[in-house]
């Protein structure tokens, strides 16, 4: 276990954003992406009156963070769930509204560090990539069974991979000889498929393809599309939400939900804006905040992070 895996990204800034909503006794904060419990532990420590509900789809993460958070006893409730299930989880726990919500959308560093999960392109491993290994299809099945057009769409949409057609042509040619099972073969194929110029930009050439496969395997964007509005709806007035995302697709989605909530939706020309058209959210960050250079130097996984925050300022009047 490397010590770097325990460094939660932009931790203090997340705590500062949520703090005004979590000082009160009985405040409930939801960590939608528990992982190894770094953010959760900090929330429980910094806000001694608060109760934590934490979600993760990865059973191994729940087991490890359960040990870490055991000293907090009844204050921490850990739930095996995907974050778009938040409304159901709160209903089961009889919690009507919460004061804080945190999302850290990066792949948990534990998953990147566990060689046998196949998330990382830096080491050979079975191409799995499922965050919850009890359900769904693996990255190998996606590569081996999806039609070429669908694979191209995934690499372009989720990996923003300009060379998607070249990579997919090589994948289709190779999988006909032998199905894919391990990451090293895929990395080598991508290196061979790319033109020289494309290899010189932006780190490991396999990075974008691996990101795209991970998002597809875990349904991450469709889950996020449901999760962010669900989390905003769960906030009490005065409650706050902080979201850390790591690529432009996630960040754009968060930005859209927050911007819609912060907008005045009245028809143009009304002399006075009625309550039901008033904004429900106040934005707490100007655009997306970035990690400091010092933080990136200490924790390279922080480099792509983008943080956005919002506060619930009124109820929706339907």
Tokens of 56: 């993760």
255 Cβ contact list (under 8 Å, min separation 6): 288, 308
Partnered with residue 55 across adjacent β-strands are 79
* Pairing between β-strand 281-283 and β-strand 98-104 as defined by DSSP bridges: unpaired
Q: What is the DSSP string of 170-198?
A: HHHHHHHHS---BHHHHHHHHHHHS-HHH
Polymer length of the chain: 318
**What is the dihedral sign for C-alpha 144, 148, 152, 158?**
negative
Distance of alpha carbon 76 from the chain centroid: 21
Please report the pLDDT score of residue 120 as a whole number.
59
Percent of the chain as helix, strand, coil, to the nearest 5: 50, 15, 35
Alpha-carbon distance 133 to 142, whole Å?
15
Encode burial over 217-250: b for 16+ CB neighbours within 10 A, e otherwise: bbebeebbebbbbbbbebbbeebbbbbbbbbebb
User: Over its length of 318 residues, how does the chain's per-residue pLDDT go in tens digits?
Assistant: 333 445 788 999 999 999 999 998 899 999 999 988 999 999 999 999 999 999 998 888 899 999 999 999 999 999 999 999 999 999 999 999 999 999 998 754 444 444 455 555 666 788 888 877 777 889 999 999 999 999 999 999 888 899 999 999 999 999 999 999 988 899 999 989 988 766 666 667 888 898 899 888 888 788 889 999 999 999 999 999 999 998 888 899 999 999 999 998 888 888 888 888 899 999 999 999 999 999 999 888 788 899 999 999 998 765
- The number of C-alpha atoms within 13 Å of 165 and in the hemisphere containing its C-beta is 0
pLDDT in the model for residue 1: 34
pTM, to two decimals: 0.79
Q: Within 13 A of 25's CA, how many CA atoms are on the CB side?
A: 0
């Amino acid at each position: 276990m490397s010590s770097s895996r325990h460094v939660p990204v932009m931790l203090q800034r997340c705590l500062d954003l949520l703090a005004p909503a979590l000082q009160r006794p009985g405040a409930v904060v939801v960590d939608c992406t528990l992982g190894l419990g770094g953010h959760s532990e900090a929330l429980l420590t910094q806000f001694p009156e608060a109760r934590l509900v934490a979600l993760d789809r990865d059973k191994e993460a729940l087991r490890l963070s359960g040990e870490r958070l055991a000293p907090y006893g009844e204050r921490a409730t850990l739930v095996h769930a995907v974050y778009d299930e938040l409304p159901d989880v709160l209903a089961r726990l009889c919690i009507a509204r919460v004061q804080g919500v945190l999302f850290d959308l990066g792949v948990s560093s534990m998953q990147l560090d566990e060689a046998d999960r196949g998330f990382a392109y830096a080491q050979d491993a079975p191409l799995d990539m499922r965050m919850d290994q009890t359900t769904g299809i693996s990255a190998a099945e996606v590569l081996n069974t999806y039609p070429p057009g669908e694979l191209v769409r995934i690499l372009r949409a989720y990996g923003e991979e300009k060379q998607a057609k070249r990579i997919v042509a090589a994948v289709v040619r190779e999988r006909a000889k032998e199905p894919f099972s391990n990451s090293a073969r895929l990395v080598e194929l991508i290196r061979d498929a790319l033109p020289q110029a494309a290899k010189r930009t932006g780190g490991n050439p396999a990075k974008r393809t691996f990101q795209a496969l991970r998002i597809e395997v875990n349904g991450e964007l469709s889950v996020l599309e449901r999760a962010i509005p669900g989390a905003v709806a769960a906030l009490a007035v005065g409650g706050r939400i902080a979201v850390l995302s790591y690529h432009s697709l996630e960040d754009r989605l968060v930005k859209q939900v927050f911007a819609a909530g912060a907008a005045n939706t009245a028809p143009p020309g009304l002399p006075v804006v009625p309550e039901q058209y008033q904004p429900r959210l106040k934005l707490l960050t100007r655009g997306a905040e970035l990690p400091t250079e010092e933080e990136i130097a200490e924790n390279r996984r922080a480099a792509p992070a983008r943080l956005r925050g919002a506060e619930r300022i009124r109820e929706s009047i339907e």
